[in-house]
């Protein structure tokens, strides 16, 4: 990956929108003053505009200034299998430009795609004559670093023992993480420290984390907590059928992790068999030791039965789900847990 700060051509690609937006912002700020952006910053969507129009703009001299920035989104022609569009792109025009870019223009192409075809001549030209910046999602083992980095940027302190709570509730999407941390920063003020109580109160809850909380309530044999979590989910319009499927997914991962662990598989090896994010596998391994295989089998049976009852309309949905929670916790009370 090229890293040429003075390049006139930049390609940002990947699925992490926060990294894309931050890199775009820095490139624009380094090139144009706030006053110049009104006249010398233009943006295009390549799903609607032919690339030759973008290049014409890039080759046109700046208006009342000496620099300009041209941003073009969705260069589908860089994908291995380009999407069909109602327009055609003259890629020869782009190729010629990449070989001799205007020195007064910063051309930024933004490709919000997981992968690009690196064998294509155009991609190779971007690497040769410009800067290619990968903006891929953060790995779960990198999230601690990002929590610290964003907290420093916002001038707040988040204790290390709260990092797992952030990972569970927010996940690894940096744009979401930044938004949640901004919310906390407004409450604690500059130089303030985020407490566990405040974080639990203000952080938006993902479905994944809610599923884990329900699993933990079953694990702790705490029916009141399980019902409380369920009632909170009802308030944000989560359906019992979807929640049953979510619980089934969580317990299936736990059961698979337990079986593979008993056969001597390491956490990294489990990715081949458990089709889930590595973080999900890590969480499953944390919980599997609290359940026996027999308990997990009975839990899966209860989930399948409730799924059938809900889909057949044999019982009022809310009642059926609360009864499911009671039964799952009852399984933990009547079987001895393997600690």
**Mean pLDDT in order along the chain per 10 residues (339 residues):** 64 91 93 91 94 95 91 93 86 94 95 90 90 85 87 92 80 83 91 88 66 80 86 79 88 93 90 77 87 92 93 90 91 54
Please give the Cα distance from 172 to 146 (Å, whole number).
Answer: 9
What residue spans in the chain does CATH classification 3.40.50.300 cover? 9-134
CATH architecture of the domain formed by 9-134: 3-Layer(aba) Sandwich (3.40)
List, in order, residues 6 or more apart from 321 with CB less than 8 Å away.
Answer: 230, 240, 243, 244, 306, 310
Q: What is the pLDDT of residue 206?
A: 59
Q: Which of 72, 181, 171, 78 is nearest to 120 (CA)?
A: 78
Please give the Cα distance from 168 to 33 (Å, whole number).
Answer: 40
Tell me the CATH class for 207-334: mainly alpha
Please give the Cα distance from 319 to 300 (Å, whole number).
Answer: 19
Unique residue bearing structure tokens 């698979």? 256
Please give the Cα distance from 117 to 77 (Å, whole number).
Answer: 9
What residue spans in the chain does CATH classification 1.20.272.10 cover? 207-334
CATH architecture of the domain formed by 140-202: Orthogonal Bundle (1.10)
Q: What is the pLDDT of residue 207?
A: 58
Q: Which of 230, 157, 144, 228 is nearest to 199 (CA)?
A: 157
What residue spans in the chain does CATH classification 1.10.8.60 cover? 140-202
């Amino acid at each position: 990956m090229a890293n040429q700060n003075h390049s006139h051509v930049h390609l940002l690609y990947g699925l992490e929108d926060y990294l894309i937006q931050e890199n775009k912002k820095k490139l624009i700020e380094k090139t144009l003053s706030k006053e110049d952006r009104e006249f010398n910053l233009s943006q295009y969507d390549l799903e609607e505009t032919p690339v030759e129009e973008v290049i014409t703009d890039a080759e046109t001299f700046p208006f009342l200034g000496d620099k300009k920035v041209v941003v073009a989104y969705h260069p589908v022609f860089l994908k291995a299998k380009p999407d069909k569009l109602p327009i055609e792109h003259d890629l020869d025009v782009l190729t010629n430009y990449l070989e001799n870019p205007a020195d007064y223009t910063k051309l930024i192409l933004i490709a919000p795609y997981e992968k690009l075809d690196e064998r294509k001549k155009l991609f190779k030209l971007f690497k040769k004559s410009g800067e290619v910046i990968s903006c891929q999602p953060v790995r779960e083992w990198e999230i601690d670093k990002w929590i610290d980095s964003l907290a420093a940027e916002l001038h707040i302190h988040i204790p290390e023992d709260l990092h797992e709570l952030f990972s569970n509730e927010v996940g690894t999407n940096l744009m979401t993480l930044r938004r949640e941390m901004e919310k906390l920063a407004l409450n604690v003020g500059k130089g303030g420290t985020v407490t566990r109580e405040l974080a639990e109160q203000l952080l938006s809850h993902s479905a994944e984390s809610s599923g884990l909380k329900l699993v933990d309530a079953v694990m702790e044999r705490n029916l009141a907590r399980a019902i409380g979590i369920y009632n909170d989910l009802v308030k944000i319009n989560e359906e019992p059928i979807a929640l049953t499927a979510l619980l089934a997914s969580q317990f299936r991962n736990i059961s698979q992790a337990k079986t593979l662990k008993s056969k001597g598989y390491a956490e990294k090896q489990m990715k081949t068999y458990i089709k889930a994010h590595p973080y999900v596998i890590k969480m499953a391994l944390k919980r599997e030791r609290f359940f026996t295989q027999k308990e997990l089998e009975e839990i899966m049976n209860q989930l399948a039965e409730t799924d059938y009852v809900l889909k057949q309309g044999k019982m009022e949905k809310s009642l059926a789900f609360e009864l499911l929670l009671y039964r799952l916790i009852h399984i933990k009370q009547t079987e001895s847990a393997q600690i």
